[in-house]
Amino acid sequence: MARLFADHDLGPSVVLSPSTTDPHTAAQWLSWSAVGMEGLVFKRLTQPYLPAARGWRKYRSRATTEALVGGVSGSLSAPTTVLLGRLDVHGRLRFVGRSTVLSRQASQALAKELTPAAGGHPWTGWSFSAGWGTKEKLRVALVEPQLVAELAADVSLDPSGKWRHPVRWLRVRSDVSPADAPLFGSGNQPAAG
């Protein structure tokens, strides 16, 4: 490995990943999220990397956390996905990510809890992409950011503190106030309440 670096100037952005065939060692690595470990990749020992091929399997580390419901795609009566935000230190609602598609049961339960935005919503006039690599825009209904949602989120965040991947909706946290939800930039920290 030292020869690779001696012969080629790969720069500081190249990080070699550890590898193992021991399941116990791999399980221990999942606790390394504080140092940037986002998950594991599984492959056969003899299987090389093939660009644009889906032969390897990913396991992403997840954490349970909360965020405020700021809007939904679809409609208020039948939400498809949830647009999520957190308050910053100045009390402004900042966008942090979107959920995966809701199950029918979750959509019906959430629809009963939503209150349309009364005006002055911080996301008024925004457009939200329908997906990575597409120019299609979501049909969005903004809501009063008073509901706290419990989510399962990948530990991977972008440099601005937003989730890199859609989060999984778990439930409404009616026992947690918006003021007790984690602040913008606090990663996957759980709610204070």
Over the stretch 119-149, which tens digit does the pLDDT of each residue have? 889 999 998 887 777 778 889 999 999 999 9
- What pLDDT band is residue 89 in, cutting at 50, 70 and 90? very high
The predicted structure's pLDDT at residue 64: 79
The predicted structure's pLDDT at residue 39: 65
> pLDDT digit string (tens) for 12-45?
666 667 777 877 877 777 666 555 556 667 777 8
The predicted structure's pLDDT at residue 9: 55
How far is the CA of 110 from the CAs of 58, 74, 128, in angstroms?
30, 12, 20
Average pLDDT over residues 41-67: 77
- What pLDDT band is residue 46 in, cutting at 50, 70 and 90? confident
The predicted structure's pLDDT at residue 33: 56
Phi-psi region of 10 (alpha: psi -120 to 50; beta: other; left: phi over 0): alpha
63-180 CATH fold? OB fold (Dihydrolipoamide Acetyltransferase, E2P) (2.40.50)
Residues of the chain with CATH 2.40.50.140: 63-180
In this structure, of 47-51, 74-78, 103-107, 179-183, the range with the lowest mean pLDDT score is 47-51
Give CA–CA dist 138/82, Å, rounded. Answer: 11
State the amino acid at position 51 in one-letter form: P
Return the top range by mean pLDDT from 9-13, 72-76, 132-136, 179-183: 72-76
